[in-house]
Structure 1
């Protein structure tokens, strides 16, 4: 799958954007767990 940044920024698909947000939040949660939780 080719990466067209400009296209993504210009017109992101709602579904795709939601998935991306979910992934980001999961990654953040995983990092917090590894760092001993929120402080």
Structure 2
């Protein structure tokens, strides 16, 4: 399960998702279909 952070800015909500298990060591996002 990923950790999420909600930030309220005026009438908008920013969502920061901590999904490090789907990222490479360089910070690139890899979708589940391309993992080896």
TM range (shorter): under 0.3
Q: Normalised by the size of structure 2, how large is the TM-score?
A: 0.20
More helix by share: 1
Q: Normalised by the size of structure 1, how large is the TM-score?
A: 0.19
Greater RCO (CA < 8 Å, at least 6 residues apart): 2
More strand by share: 2
